[in-house]
Chains A and B, each alone.
Chain A
Amino acid sequence: MCDNPHSVNCTRLRALLRSVPFHSLELTQPELLDISRWINREFAPRFNSPMVKHSQPLGLAAQELLSISSEISREYSPLSREAAANLVLLPIDKQHVYAYWRLHADKTGMQSTLKPAEDLTLRIFTPTAVPAAAVESTAPPLPDWYDFRIHAGKSCQAVALPEAAAFSSAVSAAIGVARSEQEFLPLLLSNQIDMPMSGSACATADPHIAALTAAMAQFISTGTPASSPAGNPLC
């Protein structure tokens, strides 16, 4: 009942319980009150957070917080800071990827290789395990990359991949200068990304669904909403 053997109340209570048969205990009003308070204190339901007060003391006044926040937002804006040279590729859906890049002329000398007004090329590599059906077809072999012309002044671009690239499960990219069919001078290489294999869930033409038993396919192929209202509906 009581873990602390040195507690005065606890010792007294134990002594009381030992000294007299339970049915004949006689306790005074102050003793009852004392026991009641002790039980309330020691065995009250525990909540993990403190009771709420209507006004929470802050280490700093609201106005001070606001002032510090505004100063930091003004002085350390992420929009005004230099980024390192890089090329980053991000997946959008089965047919689209997004690339952003930053070239530094002075520090790396990369842009010095560009001729005036020369456009850049974004080369998307699509090494892929082509499905058996595609291999057996008489279609010509798929290329390993696709080139997209981009203006030198741009720093990002969403790219629609050709349908032939739809079998690519992972893609990467390089940005550089393509001066001829055979000559590509890469300036930056990207990360590799995983591509979704199907842009829209449960399309009826999906060969996977066709392979299911009819019993399963009827629940899958009727389609789900294009998406749930993903993200938060409250916002």
Chain B
Amino acid sequence: MTRHSMNHGYLSIVLHAHLPYVHHPEYEQFFEENWLFEAITECYLPLIAMLDRLQADAVDYRLTLSLSPTLLTMWRNPLLQSRYLQHLEKQLELAEKEVVRTRKQPDYLALAEMYRQLFHTALCTYRDHYQCDLVAAFVKHQQTGKLELITTAATHGFLPLLRVSEAAVRRQIKVGLETFSAITGLQASGFWLPECAYFPGLENVLQEFGVQYFFVDTHGIMDAGEFPEHAVYAPLDCGNGVAAFGRDPASSRQVWSAQEGYPGDADYREYYRDIGFDLDLEYVAPYILDGVTRINTGIKYHRVTGGEGPKALYQPETARMRVREHAEHFVSQRQAQIATLSAVMSTPPHIVAPYDAELFGHWWFEGPLWLEQVLRLCSQQPQGMRTLSCGDYLDLPLSRQVAQPAASSWGDQGYSSYWLNESNDWIYPLIHKAGAEFDKLVADLQGLSLSALQLRALNQAGRSLLLAQASDWPFILKSGTSVEYAKKRITDHLARFNYLHDAIRKNRINERYLSALEIMDDVFQDVDFRGG
């Protein structure tokens, strides 16, 4: 082996942003829509603010961000935009109340003022600066060449479990890519496999739709058909030119691990203590569910603290110091890793560190600041480690080993067990059956001239099917939170599919009913499902 002489390498940080499609115009307000609203305030806006600061300071960083089609669709949905503004205005109102309530408690007051400022800034950024268009905010940074936007499957379906129908897998990928293009105006060269779930042969479908690379978990590379000469520190060519990048376990552990991970530090903000649960019901009633059911409000005054005792008060300045320490630690660890690896590798080592975007800011309040520090520190290394997007990496004149990755996912036990177990196995016969019926319907209609109404019904049936296939529903059924909602979503979407399927087969399409379904499941509007 020719050793790579220069002591340098690359770091690709990849964030995957996804939420299931939750949109309920049939209700005045709907609790699960808060998933999106919380994430906008706590994660997406802070990430945009981070990118804006990096740009303002001319920091030479590279970052890859996967935006799921359902998330992009929700960001663009006028009703959800409007409801988010209402949500944010309520948060700001509560923070104002908190400033008054805590006026004689200086430590709490400082935190209440921090939240008031945070919500006010979020409102100004979202409503005034970006005119409620988060897509435009991220696309702006893609156009600088420093942020690479990629996407994932249409509704984040767990592809190995949909593979009973090859058409179902193709549809998830095709609709995902088409929706991303329609909304962002970009072509995604990279593809985030939902839950990093890969099966051999998937690369052929990805290639068909112009995808150049995807990600797998560590064992997807380590157990590849051919022994991976560089482990996960160089991508594999799957044999058709599509590259598979493997997750670096060391980088993951430092962020994800419950024991060693940075987010669990005692000085960071505690997620599970929220005034929605801590204060008098009467006081928080206007800001919780139906005035009676306690929920998170986003105002949290405590830090992780550690141990069994009471939680101590959050101290932002101490947390910021810890952020700097953790960023320096992360960067120094990666530099040491690259120094070690480059001594034995024939190409510059490439570390791929993928994370769920919603970790940053939502679960880990200080996460966006940490990420910003990491990117700033990396940009200050004239030699040694550089951040790079995976698309940029593939442009480097480096040869790649040809091997097919192994079936794998980043879930528990390495594959499907979290999405297929006694809590959620009942869904698969149902979604497979609907998938087969849809495939047959599309085939039967092939070559026939459809009326506008029939085409609308067919496309809506395709949307219903895709929405039922989301990996989020079996995940929620297993995790045990919001179980009834997940059950209802699956059965509702399949019922809507059944209704539309029958209506098309019998040529009895009720336009009023069809319109109602189009309004409620307002996704993938530009996709023509006639091709399957």
Contacts and interface: CB of A to CB of B under 8 A. Distances in A.
B380 interface: no
Contact of B406 (A66, A79, A196, A231): A196
Contacts of B79: 56
B449 to A, nearest CB: 26
A221 B19 CA distance: 32
Given A232-B358, A233-B363, A68 B516 contact: yes
A73 B414 contact: no
A201 B132 contact: no
B398 interface: no
B399 interface: no
A62 B218 contact: no
Contact of B131 (A47, A198, A234): A47
Contacts of A230: 195-196, 409-412, 418, 475
B428 to A, nearest CB: 7
Contacts of A90: 160-161, 164, 416, 420, 428
A156 B340 CA distance: 50
A215 B252 contact: no
Interface in A70-93: 72-79, 81, 83-84, 88, 90-93
Contacts of B407: 91, 169, 194-197
Contacts of B228: 208
A118 B409 CA distance: 39
Contacts of A194: 160, 199-201, 407
A220 interface: yes
A68 B79 CA distance: 20
Contact of A59 (B136, B356, B494, B519): B519
A186 B250 CA distance: 48
B19 A47 contact: no
Contact of B249 (A60, A68, A222): A222
Contacts of A58: 25, 519
A100 interface: yes
Interface string B467-502: 000011001100101100000100110111111001
A220 to B, nearest CB: 6
B280 interface: no
A234 B35 contact: yes
A190 to B, nearest CB: 10
Interface string B391-408: 000000000000000111
B28 interface: yes
A233 B410 CA distance: 14
A197 to B, nearest CB: 4
A60 B340 contact: no
A234 B475 contact: no
- Name the residue in A51, A73, A201 with the highest tally of chain B Cβ atoms < 10 Å from its Cβ: A201
Contacts of A69: 26, 492, 516, 520
Interface stretch (B80-88, B107-115, B147-155, B317-325): B80-88
Contact of A220 (B196, B218, B482): B218
B209 interface: no
Interface in B25-40: 25-28, 35, 38-39
Contacts of A66: 26-27
B277 interface: no
Interface of B: 18-20, 25-28, 35, 38-39, 76, 78-79, 81-82, 85-86, 127, 130-133, 135-136, 160-161, 163-164, 183, 185, 195-196, 199-201, 217-219, 222-223, 227-228, 230-233, 247-250, 252-253, 256-258, 337, 340-341, 343-344, 355-356, 358-359, 362-363, 406-418, 420-422, 425, 428-430, 432-434, 436, 471-472, 475-476, 479, 481-482, 488, 491-492, 494-499, 502, 512-513, 515-517, 519-520
Given A49-B135, A79-B430, A225-B252, 4 more contacts: A76-B502, A90-B161, A215-B340, A227-B412
